[in-house]
């Protein structure tokens, strides 16, 4: 257990930040799943910009790597083009 007041505060902050990051990462993964399972081209085209924005936001905040976000966006674009 931490002995210093600042270390205790750092633990509180990191737990809160981890919960926040987990929420946004899970929300984005659910949106990705929903987009991948969509068979309607019009609906997928409408959802695509929102999902891309979510991925960019995660990459900007270092929740996921920027290249992973890029790979996911590329795969989604290919999926939508194939519909």
Q: Tens digits of per-residue pLDDT, 6-54?
A: 999 999 999 999 999 999 999 999 999 999 999 999 999 999 999 999 9
Closest CA to 70 of 59, 82, 83, 81: 59
Q: Tens digits of per-residue pLDDT, 44-74?
A: 999 999 999 999 999 999 999 999 999 999 9
Q: Is the pLDDT of residue 5 over 80?
A: yes
Where would I find the H helices in the chain?
5-37, 41-60, 66-82
Full-model pTM: 0.86
**Per the structure block, which two tokens stand in for 33?**
């799943």
Q: What percent of the chain has pLDDT over 90?
A: 95
């Amino acid at each position: 257990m931490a002995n210093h007041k600042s270390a205790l505060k750092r633990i509180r902050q990191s737990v809160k930040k981890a919960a926040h990051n987990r929420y946004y990462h899970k929300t984005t993964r659910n949106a990705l799943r929903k987009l991948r399972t969509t068979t309607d081209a019009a609906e997928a085209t409408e959802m695509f910009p929102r999902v891309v924005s979510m991925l960019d936001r995660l990459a900007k905040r270092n929740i996921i790597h920027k290249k992973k976000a890029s790979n996911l966006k590329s795969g989604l674009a290919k999926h939508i083009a194939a519909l």
